[in-house]
Amino acid sequence: MSKLVEVLAFLGALRDYSYIDRLSTALNEASVYEALNDAIRAYLSLCQGKEKYETKEAVYECPQVSGDELEKEVEEVKKAVKGKPGGEVVRFSRELAMQAYAAIPKVRVEKKS
């Protein structure tokens, strides 16, 4: 799941924790899919074809993730949660969210003067 974690951490570094928060509170497979779908869409809108994303305050290094890598990891998520009891889905989604929060400090950010 490293590429999905990188994408979620990047969004968290932008202080947009909503995707990770939604994932951490997902109670069923549909909620997991929706949170990840929206996170991937946000990442693509900010970083597709770019190495960096710039705000007024800082420049963020975009995670370099290929479409094939994302597809592979999405398939792994689907296998991990499809048809699983709620407790297993909750455990999986919270572990993924926790990994993403822990990876936020690894995102390269250059503050502007």
Q: Are 26 and 32 in contact (CB under 8 A)?
A: yes
Q: Which residue ranges in the chain fall short of pLDDT 70? A: 1
Q: What is the pLDDT of residue 67?
A: 85
Strands, E assignment, 57-96: 58-61
pLDDT at 112: 87
Q: What is the pLDDT of residue 97?
A: 97
The pLDDT, as a whole number, for residue 113 is: 78
The structural domains of the chain, with segments of one domain joined by +, span 2-111
Helix%, strand%, coil% for the chain, nearest 5: 65, 10, 25
Contacts of 57 (CB under 8 A, 6+ apart): 111, 112
pLDDT of residue 46: 96
pLDDT at 14: 97
Q: In a 3-state reduction of DSSP, which class is residue 17?
A: coil
- pLDDT for the residue 105: 96
pTM (2 d.p.): 0.93
